[in-house]
Structure 1
């Protein structure tokens, strides 16, 4: 985990990463904008079906069941998606990525996501929410064009659960890193 004294990277630096980070690049206390994610839903843009959905309320219930709170666990998600996800052309978060900001205006809230399989970059996403008024609740539409995988590549990913990983970096203003989350993915038969 990064210490508060560690220099935080700028967007152009994280865009050069060729593999997942070994640790978090900023502490939880770096979130000076007071941003909180309230709801998150992933849908298949082709048929509109929901692939994944969670809310801050559900996450809070899960935390109540823990004896102690691990700061790294708060920022790490393990996803299990159906194998068909690897063959989806695009996914979206239309009106379902909902977040709240603190008591200061937020300029250029930028999210950069880097997705890897076995330290090989699969896809990089870069989204910018230009402005948020103080104490506002906002929804963010993100459309993800999925990487085109051969059947051999998709099968290899399926055969290696949680070796597909991502880093999500959140910046404000002129590229100040305020949040860094990690995820790992398994693709299984869910039908």
Structure 2
């Protein structure tokens, strides 16, 4: 089985592929090249579907059997699962039931996933200053509720936090199972990808 990840963020577009080898080793999926859609995720659903149509065609032409949209929840008050279900239903209606499409919403943004594996930050001592207070803020299972962007900005050493370059640095070192222990929305990402640890359900920690 092949999966295509489609995202709206440059950081995700550049960084998520660094995780695919780990994920593929424990799932039924291989990955086709990641795609980026240049549109805000929270627009009327018919408009969102039309905007994503060209990327869906590219993913299918690349051999993707499953298409997963990875978007930020940001300040939307609907729970990530409800958001995903609403959009999956709308896309199946728009494109037909033959399209196997899933939505995953980061809670609340990509940075909440990036801080979830604190060890991936700790090893980069020349770039991040990881205090015990940061560890307590993230672990156990609290990465989704942090002001992750502000934490990363405070931890940055010498140069300001760079959303794209630092995301790549972190994802090159991230252990996906360590991140999953601290982020329920990241666990859901692994669940959707049928990672053996979370294939049955994504609520459990560990």
Normalising by structure 1, report the TM-score. Answer: 0.27
Higher relative contact order (Cα pairs below 8 Å, separated by 6+ residues):
1
Q: Which has the higher strand share?
A: 1
